């Protein structure tokens, strides 16, 4: 069963929505969990409000900011070395989908969280959603 990936970028996609309720429900999924985040090396560089602050523990595995699939085998090997009790969250563009699926096939709990961290940060900052801001939001980190 899949959840539509658009849940990770609600603030960018809608003008009117229960954003507070949405983010509260998503935050509940992460609360008190042990997470390993696999992401591009600059994904967190501009984040002021980290949605993962509610986690019990967060480990980081960094990959390239672009063309992550070029290092896919290395990233998969690192992910498979992660303790089985952790949820592996991935932010790596198109490579994330394949990585999450391969981790699932190996018995791991893995979530492609797409733009969630950036979207949460934008919401918390109440960043304007002009065409220019939205275009910048979707640029590679």
How long is the chain?
A: 141
- Per-residue confidence at 1, pLDDT binned at 50, 70, 90? very low
In this structure, are residues 89 and 36 in contact, taking their beta carbons and an 8 Å threshold?
A: yes
User: CB–CB of 92/110 below 8 Å?
Assistant: no
Domain residue limits, the chain = 5-136
SS3 label, residue 9: helix
Closest alpha carbon to 43 in 100, 113, 127, 131: 113
Tokens, residue 2: 């899949």
Place of tokens 């590679």: 140
Strand order through the sheet with 110-112 = 57-63, 34-40, 87-91, 110-112
Sequence-distant (≥ 6) Cβ neighbours of residue 112 within 8 angstroms: 5, 89, 90, 91, 96, 97, 99, 100
pLDDT digit string, tens, across residues 79-129: 999 999 999 999 998 899 999 999 999 999 999 998 899 999 999 999 888
Among the listed ranges 5-19, 28-42, 76-90, 122-136, which one has the minimum average pLDDT value?
A: 5-19
Inter-residue contact 43 to 117 (CB < 8 Å):
yes
As a CATH number, domain 5-136 is 3.40.250
């Amino acid at each position: 069963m899949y959840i539509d990936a658009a849940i990770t970028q609600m603030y960018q996609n809608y003008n009117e929505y229960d954003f507070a309720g949405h983010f509260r429900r998503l935050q509940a999924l992460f609360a008190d969990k042990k997470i390993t985040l696999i992401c591009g090396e600059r994904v967190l560089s501009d984040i002021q409000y980290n949605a993962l602050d509610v986690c019990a523990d967060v480990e980081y595995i960094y990959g390239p900011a672009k063309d992550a699939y070029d290092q896919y085998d290395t990233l998969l090997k690192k992910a498979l070395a992660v303790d089985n009790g952790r949820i592996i969250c991935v932010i790596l563009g198109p490579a994330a989908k394949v990585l999450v699926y391969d981790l699932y096939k190996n018995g791991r709990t893995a979530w492609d969280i797409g733009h969630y961290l950036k979207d949460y940060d934008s919401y918390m900052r109440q960043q304007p959603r002009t065409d220019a801001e939205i275009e910048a939001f979707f640029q590679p980190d």
